[in-house]
Amino acid sequence: MPEPAVTLDPWLREILRCPWCRGELADATGPDGGPELWCTGAVDPACRRQYRIDDGVPVLLVDEARRP
């Protein structure tokens, strides 16, 4: 998986969680090449939602998340 174009501060990455299942989020790259945060599925393996990052700001809205 390619390295995401935008990186978040470590302190912010540490506290961010999936708003659906409260699982950890991992840095990833979306299908359009933009940075995203993906739910690791550690809490709920069925979740795995993918959240985009717009201009360095994570969009953690469940209604706008993609499902794999």
pLDDT digits (tens, 9 = 90+) for 26-40: 999 999 999 999 999
Q: What is the pLDDT of residues 37-52, one digit of tens each?
A: 999 999 999 999 999 9
How confident is residue 5, by pLDDT bands cut at 50, 70 and 90? low
pLDDT at position 2 over 70: no
- Sheet with 25-29: strands ordered across: 25-29, 35-39, 50-54, 57-58
Whether residue 3 has pLDDT greater than 70: no
Please spell the DSSP secondary structure of 13-61, one letter per residue.
HHH-B-TTT--BEEEEE-TTS-EEEEE--SS-TTT--EEEEETTEE---
**Residue 35 domain-assigned (yes or no):** yes
Domain range for residue 14?
Answer: 1-50
CB 8 within 8 A of CB 36: no
Q: Give the total number of structural domains in the chain.
A: 1
Residue 68 lies in a domain: no
Length, in residues, of the chain: 68
